[in-house]
Amino acid sequence: MSEEWSDSSGKDTKKLLRFIKERKDDVEIGAIHGDFTPWAIMKNKNKDYYLIDSEAAQMGGLKYYDVAYFYHRVYTKLKRPDLAEIFLNSFKEISKWTEQDEKAFAPVLASRIMGGYFDSRRDKITSVELNGEMEKKLLK
């Protein structure tokens, strides 16, 4: 998928593609929602939270895809890097994030960043600048 996004992103994504290929063996499989964003979280009258928009859910997805997707969308589409960082740091703390988790997360985030360049061309909302900022941080 990353190669497909790379071809249609309108950006030079060779570094991201190389990063993903070099770390593909670190990626783990897990259950995912597939489209986990703030606007997919609802609250009912009893103040219970639930998720909607789960047609992309699957049992054999990329572990941490939902974390990367949520983080990326808040950072680049809502244009709130501050909230995205709070979310990611809180998630890491709650889940007792390890070095192995970081290794599994990094190539998944790289693929979301690549997808973000594609999204920005399509939706005209996702920030190319913030996407580039996230890419620099990841590749550093």
d(CA 18, CA 87): 27
Q: Is pTM beyond 0.95 here? A: no
Q: Label residue 27 by pLDDT band (50, 70, 90).
A: very high
Q: What is the pLDDT of residue 98?
A: 98
Contact call for residues 20 and 101 (beta carbons, < 8 A) = no
Token pair for 97: 């994030």
In the chain, the percentage of residues whose pLDDT exceeds 70 is 100
d(CA 87, CA 81): 10
What is the per-residue pLDDT across 98-110, written as a single tens digit (0 to 9) for each? 999 999 999 999 9
In single-letter form, the type of residue at position 10 comes to: G
Which of residues 12 and 79 earns the better pLDDT score?
Answer: 79
| Residue located via tokens 């991201």 | 16
Longest Cα separation, the chain:
48
Q: Has residue 1 got a pLDDT over 90?
A: no
Characterize 33-64 residue by residue with b for buried, 16 or more Cβ atoms within 10 angstroms of its Cβ, and e for exposed. Answer: bbbbbeebeeeeeeeeeeeeeeeeeeeebbbb
Q: Label residue 60 by pLDDT band (50, 70, 90).
A: very high
Q: Has residue 114 got a pLDDT over 90?
A: yes
Neighbours of 29 (CB within 10 A): 12
Token pair for 135: 């890419």
